[in-house]
Every structure is written in C-alpha cells, then in structure tokens.
Amino acid sequence: MTRLASITLGAATFLAVMNAQTAAPAFEVATIRPSQSGARGAEITPNNLILRNTSLLDIVAFAYGVQNVQISGPDWLSNTRFEIQAKAGMPASRDEMRAMLQTLLAERFKVTVHREKKDLSALVLTLGKNGHKLQENSVEGSPSFTTGRLTLTGNGATLAQMTEFISREIGVLIVDRTGLTGRYNYKLDINAFVTDEMRRAGGPPMEAPFIISQAVREQLGFTVDSSKVPVDMVVIDHIEKEPTEN
C-alpha cells in the first residue's frame, strides 16, 4: 500500500468513527402502529421501549422530558394514538431512551421543535416543615410505578413519575421543588377526598387540583402552593399525523 493510500484509508476510518460518535442516538429496530383501543400503558427497560395505546401528545412529552401541558402543538395530538415497540442496540438509561425516541419521531413523524419559556399556572411542591413521608429505596432494578382506582404507588420510583402522571390526568402542571432526586417507595390514595357527587360526574373533577394538594400534603408531607411559574415549553413546529412505513 502506498503512503497516499494509507493516509486516505486512515482519514476515511477517522471520519467514519467521528460520524458514528456524532450521529443522533437511535433504536436498533422500531415499529409504530395505529392504536384505536385497548389498555394504555408503558414498559421501559434498559433494552426496550413499549408504549401501548398512547396518544401522540404523551409520546412527544415523554420524548422531550416534559409534562403534557408543556407541549404546544396541534389539537389532534391528544386524540391520535399509537403503539410503539422499540429495541435499543445496547442497554440504555431513561434519558438515552428519550433521546432515541426523539430521533424516531423526527424520522417517522418528521417532528421539528423549538423551546421557549412561558409563565404557566402550576402546583408547586416543596418540603413540609416536618419533612417528607417517602421511604428511600436504592434497590437496583427497574422502578415500579402502578396506578389503581384513584391511587398510585411507587416502588423504587422517582417523584418525576408521580408528577408526570398526575399532571397528565388532571391537566395541571406540577413543579417539583422538593430537591428530592432519589428513588422512593410511596403511595397516594385520594379516595377519601372524592365525594360521591364527584364520582357520579365521571372524569377529573374541577376540584382535582385542590384534592390532589390535600392528599399530597397529608400523605406525602409536601407543601403545595398554586403559583404562576416560568417553565420550558416544547413548541412543535411541524409534525405529521401518520408515520412513514415501518
């Protein structure tokens, strides 16, 4: 091999390595299918991401690590539902899964976004004067977060999982300023705060933010205040209603 050929081959190898390092993180394989019915749910492991009967709004919010009310986009996002099954090429963290999902949305739904700040009404969580009532859980493994009839239970879960779920259900932004970043065991049961009249009405009652605030204060030990706060918004500049073919 001549010196010139050797240099050219070396440069090509270097560029290939650099391109691989700077390429957007992506799933090894992924399928997206329309979903009209069935149980809603998510399974996230270091190797797999499965979203069942999930609205495009929820998918985008998870991908960008924000709550639903922090997404500005078309009205139909909340009514268009899909099932996603994706596999990572190697074990990935939750943040890496989010990044790969962003790439998938860009490729299949042609999503483009930008971020901006906006003042929104929110429930702001801070530590109560007597501290929180959560139990620390540092056991290795995937966190468990389950919901029941007006209950939710975390086992080695984060506060973000709780605030994201509640915010999605009641349509009010919840801001965590407790400073707690670990994994915990906790349970929130709001049945005692819901009247029969509210149950008969169906759906989240207008009093939902107040009810949640009461339950969080009494059962988890947090102070909850209503306030307008500046938050990061993800503004969707473009998104297709249908994904490209698998």
Q: Is 206 a residue whose pLDDT tops 80?
A: no
pLDDT value of residue 6: 53
- 56 found inside a domain: yes
Indicate whether 74 and 126 sit together in one domain: no
Residue 166's closest CA among 148, 152, 182, 154?
Answer: 152
Q: Which of 60, 85, 113 is the last residue of a domain?
A: 113
- 237 found inside a domain: no
Indicate whether 97 and 31 sit together in one domain: yes
pLDDT value of residue 133: 94
Indicate whether 82 and 146 sit together in one domain: no
- 6 found inside a domain: no
Number of structural domains found in the chain: 2
Indicate whether 57 and 161 sit together in one domain: no
Q: Which of 113, 133, 158 is the last residue of a domain?
A: 113
- Single pTM value for the model: 0.76
Per-residue pLDDT of 146-190, as tens digits, reads 888 888 999 998 898 899 888 888 889 999 999 998 999 999 998
- 3 found inside a domain: no
Q: Which of 70, 90, 113 is the last residue of a domain?
A: 113
- 83 found inside a domain: yes
Indicate whether 215 and 133 sit together in one domain: yes
- In sequence order, the 6+-apart residues with CB closer than 8 A to the CB of 105 are 59, 60, 63, 111, 239
Per-residue pLDDT of 23-52, as tens digits, reads 789 999 999 999 977 778 888 888 999 999
pLDDT value of residue 3: 57
pLDDT value of residue 12: 53
CA dist 81 and 58 (Å) reads: 9
Indicate whether 102 and 128 sit together in one domain: no
Indicate whether 72 and 130 sit together in one domain: no
CA dist 243 and 197 (Å) reads: 42
Domain range for residue 31? 11-113
Per-residue pLDDT of 112-156, as tens digits, reads 999 999 999 999 999 988 899 999 997 776 678 888 888 899 999
pLDDT value of residue 15: 46
pLDDT value of residue 20: 45
- 245 found inside a domain: no
- 47 found inside a domain: yes
Burial 60-84 (b: 16+ CB within 10 A, else e): bbbbbbbbbbbbebeeebeebbbeb
Indicate whether 19 and 76 sit together in one domain: yes
pLDDT value of residue 17: 45
pLDDT value of residue 16: 47
Indicate whether 109 and 168 sit together in one domain: no
What is the residue-averaged pLDDT of the chain?
A: 87
Indicate whether 81 and 135 sit together in one domain: no
- 244 found inside a domain: no
Indicate whether 224 and 160 sit together in one domain: yes
Indicate whether 26 and 90 sit together in one domain: yes
